[in-house]
Structure 1
Amino acid sequence: MGESSNMPFWRAKSLEAMSGPEWESLCDGCGRCCLNKLEDWDTGEIAWTNLACQLLDGQSCRCSDYENRHATVPDCVQLDPATVRQLSWLPATCAYRLVAEGRDLYWWHHLVSGDPDTVHQAGISARGRTISELGKDVEDYEDHIVEWPGENPFEDAA
């Protein structure tokens, strides 16, 4: 067998070649993609908010109704390989983005560390940093703009 048989699947396979379970396991559980974002229509610039989707569990940073999320949140973006390559707002630390760019996962990703809590311990996740979008008017979203979801404190550590 070749060298790729000893490589983890995310280094040996393209996003398109991954099985369903492999694809789902790539999610690091940071919850950043579930934050509301504002887009400047003229420049395309994205501004992150600390307003979380109503389905985001603020403790686990996972969707509280993943299988049925589109019934509650019809505009929830379904990630697939093509979408991952098109979205400019995926966090720089996102495993889907990293793999699409040919980069490796960070040490805190559960597939590397073996522990789903390291994403929180490393300070990457949205845990404890969000409020629910419920009851907020879209006009008030600008009052909730934050920088941290777009930052990558481990930029040179991958």
Structure 2
Amino acid sequence: MDQQEWESLCDGCAKCCLHKFIDDESVVDAAPTDYLSQGEKIHYTNIVCGLLNTKTCSCTKYNERTKLVPECVKLTKDNLQEIFFMPPSCSYRRLHEGRGLPSWHPLLNKGKKSAMHKNGMSVRGKTVYDHDVEMEDFEDYIALWPMEDLD
């Protein structure tokens, strides 16, 4: 699979652009992690990266995103097994788990995102930008909808 084919697997929902945090009251200092420990839970917020176009659910600086936002998600064939932080509807995660592409995926809908948006599987109309909120208030922005999955 070449890079273009790999990129086409992305459903373009932009849920990877949501700020997430791990709930573990025993941790004093929060630090980036590559795994989820026993007793920890990921919480998704409706706060998105300021580079996201929330109408198209596309990054405005996609090719520069990991330089501009070092913690930005860049899924590859090599790090796919480390995607514990991706929501259950993520097409990469679904494929990794053997669940196949969802019926609303653009590849199954003539390359269009309209079925995804219509089914509420994208971030469109559900988010606020990280530069518009105080990050210490992130708990006020916890969202349950990123965990929803269809078929």
CA distance in structure 1 between the partners assigned to 2:4 and 2:135 by the alignment = 35
Q: Which runs of 5+ in 2 are unaligned?
A: 27-38
Please report the TM-score for the alignment, with normalisation by the length of structure 1: 0.81
Are 2:109 and 1:126 equivalent residues in the alignment? Answer: no
- The amino acid of 1:146's aligned partner reads A
Q: Which has the larger radius of gyration?
A: 1
Q: Which residue of 1 aligns with 2:13?
A: 30
Q: What residue in structure 2 maps to residue 65 of structure 1?
A: 61
TM-score of the superposed pair, with normalisation by structure 2? 0.84
In the TM superposition, what whole-angstrom CA distance separates every residue of 1:90-124 from its partner, at most 9, and x where no partner exists?
11111101111122111110111112222111110
Greater strand proportion: 2
Which residue number corresponds to residue 55 of structure 1? 51
User: 2:73 corresponds to which residue?
Assistant: 77
Aligned AA (1:100): H
Give the percent of matched residue pairs that are identical in Structure 1 and Structure 2: 40
Deviation of the 1:138 alpha carbon: 2.4
Tell me which amino acid in the other structure corresponds to 2:86: L
* Aligned mates of 2:52, 2:90 — CA distance in 1: 17
Matched residue SS, 1:81: coil
Aligned to 1:112: 108
| Unaligned ranges ≥5, structure 1 | 1-17
Partner of 1:19 in structure 2?
A: 2
User: Secondary structure of the residue that 1:134 maps to in structure 2?
Assistant: helix
- Give me the CA root mean square deviation: 1.4
Matches within 5 A, 1:132-147: 132-147=129-144
Which contiguous aligned blocks of 4+ residues in structure 1 show a shift greater than 4 angstroms?
Answer: none
In the TM superposition, residue 27 of structure 1 has moved relative to its aligned partner by 0.9
Distance 2:148 2:102 in 1: 14
1:45 aligns with 2:28: no
Alpha-carbon separation, structure 2, partners of 1:86 and 1:35? 17
